Structure 1
Amino acid sequence: MFFLETAILIFIGVFLLTYLTIPKIIKVVEYKRLMDDPNQRSSHSTRTPTLGGVAFFYTLVLALFFIRGRDIYDEVMHIIPGLTILFIMGLKDDLVVISPGTKLLAQVFAIIFVLTNPSFTIHSLNGFLNINEIPYYLYLIIGGFMMLTIINSYNLIDGIDGLASVVGMVIMVIYTTIFYMTEEYFFALVSITMNASLMAFLGFNLSSDKKIFMGDTGSLIVGFIISVLTLKFLALRPVAYTDLPFLLENAPLIAISILIVPLFDTARVFAIRIANKKGPFSPDRNHTHHVLIDYWGLSHKQASFIIGCFNLLFVMLFIVLGSTAKNLGMVIMLVSVVIILGYIFFKYNYNFATLKQKILLRRKVEKLKSRVEDKSGKKKKSLKSESQKTNSSGIRPVNGENRMEDRKEKHSIDSE
């Protein structure tokens, strides 16, 4: 009962704090002209305030102060340094673009603080693919790689209005439920805190007159929290799984299903870029949400809602299957789903050019052809008229002005 009261107070406090301070951030950003200018990749057409993630940072830090006594292994002192590093790096990237290598290095330092806390140590995979105990060095490799993947995957899906918030809210609801059932109340409260911030931010992100983006400041912070919660979920002791509705050995697959949207989109985009002989972090419009908008004509809200619902249904499906099915069968099913989704989003050939670019190019070519045809038709008509005059008078009028017009017309046609 005490947890529920604390959870309600934390949720209301964080929601109101985020909701009331974001307009202040918008005013400061507009006054200082720290706006996000649209480019050929952008899904917005006007200059839009960014730095919405600033609200995430200080609401999280304040919430961690009030719930710090519930962390058994003093996890707060390992989470806050990582949050601070990513906040500074994300803020700098929103103001002055930095290289992917610099961002990656900052993420590594932030992750190290978390991995050194014994609460996050993964001692065993509990029979997943017949793997049980794992050495500490292997945990560091697996945990570090997993956290890096989650942070960057979440950062990459922040491409349209509402998507990052909706997906983040779905993930936070699931982790809140898991940690409440396993009596890990500190992490349940962290999930509730992050969820309250995302809900308050979503209204502004979808607004037409008070729009703001979370920017790298926000996406890195949210991705970091998701990676921390995922690591803690996999580090739960076997006794904690007795109240969960799935088998202990299926925990890694449940974690993948929770993160299916960012993981699938990142794998797909990286594959496209590498196949196109580009760097995996080179920007483009080949993300899944861009496909839904550019080809299927969905709005930002529709695309975000559909992807969020898919994420939730996918998790529910795997939880149901994970209650009885062995992990090998679930792995086969997961691979099959990924292949099907990959086929659906690959078959329209988004690999080398977006549909929007193709449409613009086709329109330009058609417009060019019509202009050439109009010029040719006018020239033929003019020649026919002059021929008739010549036949009637016996003399074809030729002067400098006519020759100049012919040269201009010919030059215009040749240049087009």
Structure 2
Amino acid sequence: MDNPNSRSSHVRRTPTLGGVAFFYVLIFALFFLRNWCEYSEAIYLIPGLTILFIVGLKDDLVVLSPYTKLIAQILAVTFIISNESFTIHSLHGFLGIDQIPVVIYYAVAGFMMITIINAYNLIDGIDGLASIVGIVILIIYATIFYMTKEYFFLLISLTLNGCLISFLKYNLSQTSEKIFMGDTGSLIVGFVISILTLKFLALSPEKYDSLPFLIENIPLIAISILIVPLFDTARVFTIRIASKRSPFSADRNHTHHILIDYFKISHRKASLIIGGFNLIFVYLFIILGSASYNFWLVTVLVITVIVLGYLFYRFDYSFANIRRKIRFKRRIDDVKEKSKNIIGKNNE
């Protein structure tokens, strides 16, 4: 059960084991889909999913340190990058890079997957957000794998999407039916999304011919698909490090917290706005990626991140000032109240 605290946006104790169902559904699906694998990918997914399920479940019941979870993620990721189906041989001219040495691939792929897992885990802060963003991402990947005839990954995307759509109803509920996916769910979903991203980058050149964008823009399309979790993680980590705090320390500086705290909108509206932004951003990048070389797309991406970062910094700064003023006023009121009590006792 998740008990409300100073950082919580809920007011009642809420079960956090919604992600348990994700694990069992995926394992059940992998059992039936294993014959669709060209390189026995299902056999490599199962141990990784199991490791993160056990660690996530324990973290939901007894809080684990970030470093314990990181070790588990490294172990889970190792199973995936060791399968040749996920090997990225080339970036196809992205920023002038073609062939990738195997050692570089292992380092980049491992770092990328762990980043995605943690980025998705961090956006699970308000009702519906992780589900809606996950649904958007999985729909896009399902479409990509349908167009490239990678049916195993298409079915994995659809299976997990079904889990998130079913879960969303209960996550948004304001009754006793409400449930959170917990770390069990967010780690599993983030892990699967990282696998789909790696597979997208590892497709053979002829597969990309059926996609509506230039092959050299593939890495930028992948970034645009994951723009919400990646941007939010980069932003909060920068703020925490600049404040001389651990990047894994908890706070209410996330993009979704600013939307509900500063603009006073509901969790549902904030989640829909962020999910809608993710979908529109990907659509625009696909359009641009079909005609523009990656230099211009990189320029657009950098400008977008800088502008969004500045805007949310200003909102966060303004909101932080308001909170500081409120806390200062409360202290003054407390001092005045104590002074009155002391004067009253002296007069007696």
Q: Same fold (TM over 0.5)?
A: yes
| Match status 1:323 vs 2:290 | yes
- Asked whether the equivalents of residues 258 and 315 of structure 2 are also in contact (C-alpha less than 8 Å), the reply is no
Counterpart of 2:148 in structure 1 is: 182
Q: Secondary structure at the match of 1:126?
A: strand
Match of 1:347 among 305, 309, 314: 314
Q: Does structure 2 retain, via aligned residues, the 8 Å contact 1:167–1:311?
A: yes
In the alignment, is residue 408 of structure 1 matched against residue 345 of structure 2? Answer: yes
Residue 9 (structure 1) aligns with: none
Query: Is 1:335 paired with 2:302?
Result: yes
Equivalent pair of 1:294/1:356 in contact (CA under 8 Å): no
CA distance in 2, matches of 1:315, 1:276: 32
Tell me the residue number matched to 2:120: 154
CA distance in 2 between partners of 1:309 and 1:192 (Å): 19
> Normalising by the residue count of structure 1, what TM-score does the alignment of the two structures yield?
0.80
1:364 aligns with 2:301: no
Q: How many residues align?
A: 347
SS of equivalent residue, structure 1 residue 36: coil
Distance change in 2, residues 1:406/1:182 (3 Å)? closer
Separation in 2 of the partners of 1:62 and 1:211? 25
Q: Aligned letter for 2:220?
A: L
Establish whether residue 214 from structure 1 lines up as the match of residue 151 from structure 2: no
Identity of aligned residues (%): 62
Task: Name the TM-score, length of structure 2 as normaliser.
Answer: 0.95
> Structure 1 residue 409: deviation in Å?
4.9
Q: Which amino acid aligns with 1:153?
A: A
Aligned to 1:394: none
Find the aligned partners of 2:83 and 2:53 in 1 and give their Cα distance.
Answer: 21
- Could you tell me how far apart the structure 2 residues matched to 1:364 and 1:186 are? 58
Q: What are the within-5 Å matches in structure 2 for residues 106-117 of structure 1?
A: 106-117=72-83
Task: Provide Cα deviations, 1:134-165, integer angstroms capped at 9, x if missing partner.
Answer: 11111101100000000000000000000000
The answer to whether the 8 A contact 1:295-1:355 is kept is no
Deviation at 1:356, TM superposition (A): 7.5
Paired AA for residue 122 in structure 1: I
What's the counterpart of residue 44 of structure 2?
Answer: 78
2:253–2:316 contact (8 Å) kept in structure 1: no
Matched-pair contact (CA < 8 Å) for 2:44–2:80: yes
Structure-2 change in CA distance of 1:361 and 1:71 (3 Å): same
Q: Distance in 2 between matches of 1:199 and 1:358?
A: 39
In structure 2, stretches of 5+ residues that fail to align are: none
Alpha-carbon distance, 1:350 to partner: 3.9
User: Residue 21 of structure 2 aligns to which amino acid in structure 1?
Assistant: A
Query: Mind listing any 5+ residue stretches in structure 1 that lack a counterpart?
Result: 1-34, 377-404, 412-416
C-alpha distance in 2 between matches for 1:312 and 1:101: 33
Residue deviations 1:265-289, cap 9 Å, x none? 0000000000100000001110000
**Bigger radius of gyration:** 1
Could you tell me which amino acid in structure 2 is paired with residue 111 of structure 1? V
Using the alignment, how far apart are the partners of 2:137 and 2:209 within structure 1?
22
Corresponding residue to 2:161 among 181, 184, 195: 195
Contact 1:43–1:160 (Cα < 8 Å) also in 2: yes
Partners of 1:53 and 1:77 in 2: how far apart?
Answer: 21
2:31 paired residue number: 65
Segments of 4+ moved more than 6 angstroms: none
Q: CA deviation at 1:371?
A: 4.8
RMSD: 2.0
- 1:178 deviation in Å? 0.1
